[in-house]
Homo-oligomer: A and B are copies of this chain.
């Protein structure tokens, strides 16, 4: 990559000022600027091969790719700004915008070093995390780095990456209060315990500022399900206010600047299906440390269709979590949980929210597995309270749930976060998937169920998803329904039904009923 002389040259190279012109173009996540072919400040052909420019306005600096626009789109003294960038720069039409060729970040040498099998030091990872957070790397460079790291990364490197990621973003302080959290590595449909644990913990008087993600490949993330109940796209300031008032929140992490380098890594890991233990540990722990969490209970589901297929893999991941958390002063308790089937009955935002509310309301038809798991996890979190006699956490969690205290706390949190922008109704198209044989349910494939729910429209369509009617161990007769598919878009719904008919995800073992 570029050597020193060239870097220096590009850094100082002719910057110029143009007038902001909004373009009615939405480029999604990407920062793009449009320049005239005969632009006053930059000959676009000079950028061939390296199309990145640094754009400055009102104290902000962003990196963007360039395109060339005709006369009617942009004049020689103008810079065309598509929607996201216009907003991110916070300019008005005609405002001055400075533009200069972007210098290739020095941290890119980390890619070559990792390909060559070198272990990187703290300083190198810190530089990588900083440049990732500033969007200085291209997706292609991020992908190269991740794949190179996937072949070898030491525990020390994972710790250094995590540290670098924490340092590259905001860090929340809670005035010495003990801040707790629980987290699950994901992969189990319906597993929405956070929405029950957070109000229990807050009802006990502890602080749990929960940030969560939206689904990208699953039928619902914690943020998607919470969004059925309340607004989730809170700013850092708004989130803080909710936590100060209620003791807990459940918000989407996208507007909070905690470990922003992680967001960049995840945006490439997801489409490439990269899911290494090292990246998972750095991702989760950097978010928690940045959020000011002091004690974390971690849920690792183990099962044949879970992320962790066996105990050996689970144990290896546990040790890595403990090693990194230990060096970051984060107290961690890792629990292996049952990942053999979905948790709760609903899979999809509105269906999962329904289950959560049923558990909080103490309704007799609430899914017992979801309730029991939430109590177990909340109990482990409450054990952090020095006032509570050891071993009393679980009983206290049960009390807070059964007394309605957790339910009241959840209502308080929902009100503080604001009204949901979504309807909580279930999709009106319904199809029941029947058992093809009689016997006992022997296995439920988490991936298959998630796939059917996603095809039906979840999470984009909050009311779409799968409603499970049977669990492992239940007796069924041929023709009896195993689950319901909900949806609202006819073509999506048809695909989901077709996929369920090809392979429903249930294994029924013959048995005399």
Contact = CB atoms under 8 A, between A and B. Distances in A.
Interface in A20-42: 23-28, 34, 37
A71 interface: yes
Given A6-B455, A460-B46, A491-B14, A26 B68 contact: yes
Q: Which of A151, A216, A502 has the most chain B CB atoms closer than 10 A to its own CB?
A: A151
Interface stretch (A139-147, A304-312, A325-333, A356-364): A139-147
A455 B9 contact: yes
Interface stretch (A265-273, A284-292, A368-376): A265-273
A273 B112 contact: yes
Contacts of A14: 491
Interface string A125-152: 0000000000000111111101110110
Contacts of A503: 5
A499 B25 contact: no
Q: Which of A3, A69, A143 has the most chain B CB atoms closer than 10 A to its own CB?
A: A143
Nearest to A67: B27
B24 A72 contact: yes
Given A140-B272, A495-B9, A115 B150 contact: yes
A477 interface: no
Interface string A359-400: 000000000000000000000000000000000000000000
A309 B293 CA distance: 51
B144 A48 contact: no
B49 A216 contact: yes
A162 interface: no
Contact of A67 (B26, B48, B144): B26
A68 B151 CA distance: 38
Contacts of A141: 143, 271-272
B28 A67 contact: yes
A503 B115 CA distance: 29
A115 B49 CA distance: 28
Contacts of A274: 115, 144
A268 to B, nearest CB: 6
Interface string A77-111: 00000100000000000000000000000000001
Interface in A30-78: 34, 37, 45-46, 48-51, 67-73
Contact of A143 (B45, B73, B140, B498): B140
A272 B138 CA distance: 10
Given A49-B270, A138-B271, A140-B271, 14 more contacts: A3-B447, A6-B499, A14-B491, A24-B69, A25-B73, A26-B67, A50-B271, A112-B273, A115-B150, A140-B142, A140-B268, A140-B272, A141-B272, A147-B147
Which 10 residue pairs of A and B lie closest in terms of their CB atoms, listed nearest first? A24-B70, A5-B499, A26-B68, A9-B495, A140-B143, A147-B147, A139-B140, A143-B143, A143-B144, A144-B147
6 contacts: A5-B498, A24-B70, A49-B271, A138-B139, A140-B268, A140-B272
